[in-house]
Structure 1
Amino acid sequence: MTTKNDDPVLDLSDAVKGSWHRFLDLYEPLRPELYRYCRHLTRSPWDADDLVQDTLARAFVTLGTLEGNAPARPRAWLFRVASNLWIDRVRRQRELASEIDAASTTSDPRAQREAAGTLLSQLSPQERASVVLKDVFDLTLEEIAETLSTTIGAVKAALHGGRSKLVDPAMHERARPLPSREVIDAFVDAFNAHDLDRVAALLMERSTVEVVRVCTQYGREAARSGALTGMMFGSRRLAAADVEGGIDPRFIQGARPTPPRIEVRSHRGEWLLVHWYDHEDGEAVRAFTRVEIDGDHIARVRNYFYTPDVIEEISRELDVPFKLNGHRYW
């Protein structure tokens, strides 16, 4: 029989996890500022959170290929990684939008704008990043040039151009009709009844269920025995974290083992599941879940629990009481 120590794949997985955790020991304290920077670049907290995670992942891989010493200024280095990822992403999106426009035969400019969606922006990526780094984070021109891998002259031009046409990007977001609530309501009813079988039955056979930053599971059965169980009954472990682990005990904050309940809220053009946890001082939101519907089943579930920046921002937008869980599950 093959043991864990004899399996090179498992050995590699353990080594990578160990290195990743050590990387986060050093760079995770910078996550709030990185999130704030990414939030200024992107249009939503969800996109900002994705960009933060992509940035940390790219930085982790890049760090393993650097020769010599680690970056002398970690914050500036993370901002550079985030800037490059975001600029590349916007360029790819605009190329796609141009292809859509070129293929369109309509003369209605509004239809062309909708084809591009939120890809269109008043500022170029370089302009937007420069303005944010200067006006929000108060970096010097030299630091901005280093972060964006450009010259001081280019930064000055980007600042001048960006400030002259900067507008609130939220004004350009396209209104979208909310999807049907039938499947979502069925999910909520089953979840609040603590009926794990009924919840799992609403998923597509090849669905994806993700607890952001923790795990991604593919397929109904894997999700049923893993992530969905944690979402429904994880409050028991939360309340006993000082004994069982799974979260820093300082984040217990009077949590009770009562399974959480969820409710549906309309938020930023989608139905959002709000997770209410019971505490000694009353209920508070500790997580959000986003779902993607395909026909009469759920294709994707993304649960945000170990994402304090997102939880705080969305809770304040919804005007609900909340408690944070930190970034870590170990």
Structure 2
Amino acid sequence: MTLNDLKALGEDIREIEQKYKQEIEPFRSDLWHYCYKLTKSPWDAEDLVQDTLFKSLAVLAKVYQPVNTKSYIFKIATNLWIDQNRKSKYTYQSLNENLNQELTSSYDFQLIDNLDFLIKQLTPIQYVSFILTEAFQFKAKEIARIIPTSENAVYANLSRARSILKNKVERTSKPKVRAVDLTANGPLKVLLEGFRNKDPEMIASVLSEDVITDITHAGLEMGLEETKKNSLRDWKQIVDTQHVIVAEYKELWGRPVIIELEKKLDNKLYLNNIHVIETYENEIIFWKFYCFSWDLMKLAANELGVELNAKYFYHIF
């Protein structure tokens, strides 16, 4: 197969992918928040969402019966997460619990932000059963198809989780971790100045010839020329319409990132983008940004205490 053949095939696949994302779009935010509850990390949640979208589309070609869209993508995400835990040598606990088929609960689970203590005491399947029921209102019969397991096992899993919560005398919560300022040097310092000066050439000057630019949920660019021709050109068109660009190097949720914001005429800051950078020998070899990761960006804006420049975001990609 020639390069041109692959290019034509890629265009066909992109058209199919676009149709698929439009179909699952009504459930995208629910999927992201589900992955966030599973992983406890916005970054890991985003990775799990991407893996879910890739695998769910690939597997779909092998599924011949009708499927419920939401249950289908939740099932793929669940299986991926359980597999990850198994690979991490997660210690499973016994399911020898008394069955409790009472589906109502006296807890307001929507208000519980930190469930770390619960996940440490449950198996992945027990934890998934709990989250799907309490946070996303799935029925036991639906959960049994997602995991898969039996309805009675689902009831047992819920009983286990609720018993742990009910009997927990002390509940400790982690202090809220705000973004921490970091000191940039080398190519990151140049990159920050490039953002602030709205200068794509300055930014390009620290990119490797073989840089990989990963636009989460939108595309992948391989090489400097592709990045200049696409992402940097598009970025320049946007920032030229904006007032003052503020770029900061921070640690956000445990990861060093570049935060790109616009300072508008109202003197308020609006989040444009979040950039994750990898360098080698004073060059940027990998550049990943999240402006199309809708739910992650909303969460980040809230964490940073700024507004979200949603005018430039598009939910379907």
Query: Into which bin does the TM-score normalised by the smaller protein fall?
Result: 0.7 to 0.9
Deviation digits for residues 170-191 of structure 1, max 9, x if unmatched? 85xxxxx997621323320122
Which residue of 59, 62, 68 maps to 1:62?
Answer: 59
Q: Which of 44, 48, 71 does residue 47 from structure 1 map onto? A: 44
Cα distance change, pair 163–202 in 1 and its aligned pair in 2 (3 A) = farther
* CA distance 1:315–1:122, shift in 2 (3 Å): farther
Q: Which residue of 2 aligns with 1:285?
A: 271
Ranges of 4+ aligned residues in structure 1 off by more than 6 Å: 166-170
- 1:267 maps to which residue? 252
Give the conservation status (yes or no) of the 8 Å contact 1:38–1:48: yes
Amino acid at match of 1:28: E
| Residues 1:218 and 2:203 are matched in the alignment | no
Asked if structure 2 preserves the Cα contact closer than 8 Å seen for 1:202 and 1:297, the reply is yes
Q: 1:233 to 1:170 in 2, by over 3 A?
A: farther
1:169 is displaced (CA, Å) by 11
CA RMSD, 1 decimal: 3.3
Moved more, 299-308 or 150-159: 150-159
CA distance in 2, matches of 1:144, 1:26: 21
What SS class does the counterpart of residue 150 from structure 1 fall into? coil
Q: Which protein, 1 or 2, shows the higher relative CO under an 8 Å CA cutoff with sep ≥ 6?
A: 2
Tell me the SS of whatever aligns to 1:34. Answer: helix
Contact 1:262 1:274 in 2 (8 A): yes
Match of 2:13 in 1: 16
> 1:302 pairs with 281, 284, 288, which one?
288
1:229 maps to what in 2?
A: 233
Q: Distance in 1 between matches of 2:284 and 2:162?
A: 43
Residue aligned with 2:308, SS: coil
Question: Are the aligned partners of 1:234 and 1:259 in contact in 2 as well (CA < 8 Å)?
Answer: no
Q: Which residue of 1 aligns with 2:195?
A: 191
For 1:55-78, what per-residue CA distance to the aligned partner results, in whole angstroms no more than 9, with x for missing partners? 122222222221143x1x211121
AA in 1 matched with 2:153: A
Contact 2:197 2:245 in 1 (8 A): no
2:198 is paired with a residue whose SS is coil
Identity among equivalent positions (%) equals 24
Equivalent in the alignment of 2:69: 74
Aligned to 1:124: 123
Aligned pair 1:182/2:185, yes or no?
yes
- Cα separation, partners in 2 of 1:317 and 1:77, compared to 1, 3 Å: same
Structure 2 gaps of 5+ residues are: 91-118, 175-179
Q: Is structure 2 residue 315 aligned with structure 1 residue 327?
A: yes
Structure-2-length-normalised TM-score: 0.75
Of the three residues 94, 100, 121, the one matched with 2:89 is 94
Sort the Cα spacing of 1:328 and 1:141 in 2 relative to 1 into closer, same or farther, 3 A: closer
SS in 2 for 1:234: helix
Normalising by structure 1, we get a TM-score of 0.73
Question: What amino acid is the match of 1:74?
Answer: T
Query: Is contact 2:52-2:77 (8 Å) kept?
Result: yes
As a proportion of its length, which structure holds more helix? 1
Indicate if the aligned counterparts of 1:274 and 1:288 stay in contact, CA closer than 8 A.
Answer: yes
SS at match of 1:265: strand
Q: Is the 8 A contact 1:127 1:158 kept in 2?
A: yes
The answer as to whether partners of 1:39 and 1:48 remain within 8 angstroms in 2 is yes
Number of matched pairs: 278
Aligned 1:128-139 pairs, distance under 5 A: 128-139=127-138
Is contact 1:261–1:276 with CA below 8 Å preserved after alignment? yes
